[in-house]
Amino acid sequence: MPKIGNIELPEFPLLLAPMEDVSDPPFRAVCKTNGADVMYSEFISSEGLIRDAMKSRAKLDFSEEERPFGIQIFGGDEDAMAMSARICETVNPDFVDINFGCPVKKVVSKGAGAGVLKDIDLMVRLTEAVIRSTSLPVTIKTRLGWDDNTRNIEEVSERMQDIGVKALSIHGRTRCQLYKGEADWTLIGKVKNNPRMHIPIFGNGDIDSPQKAQEYKNRYGIDGIMIGRAAIGYPWIFREIKHYLQTQTILPAPTLQERIEVCKTHLQKSVEWKGPKVGIYEMRRHYTNYLKGLPGIKDFRLRLVTLPTAEDINGVLDEISVHYKDYEFERTPIELIDYHEKCPL
């Protein structure tokens, strides 16, 4: 069984990737219910956390049901990273994760996220600063390298392990690829199968079906899989993968009623956590994904994204349930959107 420090994980854990403006507590809740094993906060600016920025502090919220839970921080200054890790420790997460993978220009231009991939010595210093400042296990999420000429993840992984990192999640793209092209897992496999490596290695990138999850598990020998974009609007991906790994059979697609119920739950939790105005507004991005595939849904969707109250929205969801009561969803490939374009930072 893989472990993050002393935290015991399932035999082959499925991790919900931290996604800015997506993986908030309401979204995490519906993913946890549907089989996600390890949860992360949205990534948090170390500078913002130290300044007591309201948005950054709010991202520290999590529930006991989400454990094991990690708070993910990013930044390019050693003192700020150390101080933010100490702040994270006050809310008692299970571990602290450092983001060395975010490719967004706004983050990279500050020498943070994937921007640190251009300076591995700096990556080491930042990580050491965090490890020294907290008694919690420290993990890393990163990419293969900055570009095709610097795919240095094998060196990075050894150095991270040597200074005390307890697990690595590796996205199979370089920073310059953003989310374009196909994720390359061959280097992830090399890291995992390096005889020097003994910490858990989690693979990330383009997992959009139970079959691909099993194929990559067998081919690359990774300890678990981190899933991000495939879960947006489709939290059932976790339970489907688990079922397939255990039985080699594919679950039926979630019914319309299941989709409606999860959508309602997500909305309710969004309103509870963010308040009615923001909760309803930020929920609007999710309706298209939950209801994807329904023919002629445009008019219903327009109402969903313009109505002002949760009661009104639930009324439209009930109408959809009746209108499409005989509709059977076909199993279609999950579309991996570039969520940074849909939900810009």
Catalytic residues: 102
Q: Which runs of consecutive H residues, i.e. helices, occur in the chain?
A: 25-33, 46-50, 54-58, 78-89, 105-108, 120-133, 153-163, 186-192, 210-220, 237-247, 256-274, 276-290, 298-304, 310-323, 339-342
d(CA 282, CA 299): 19
- Please classify residue 275 by burial: count the beta carbons closer than 10 Å to its beta carbon, then call 0-12 exposed, 13-18 middle and 19+ buried: exposed
Query: Cis (ω within 30 of 0) for the bond into 10?
Result: no
Radius of gyration of the chain (CA): 20
**97 SS3 class:** strand
- Please classify residue 107 by burial: count the beta carbons closer than 10 Å to its beta carbon, then call 0-12 exposed, 13-18 middle and 19+ buried: buried
**1 SS3 class:** coil
DSSP 343: S
Give the count of alpha carbons within 13 A of 152, CB side only.
Answer: 16
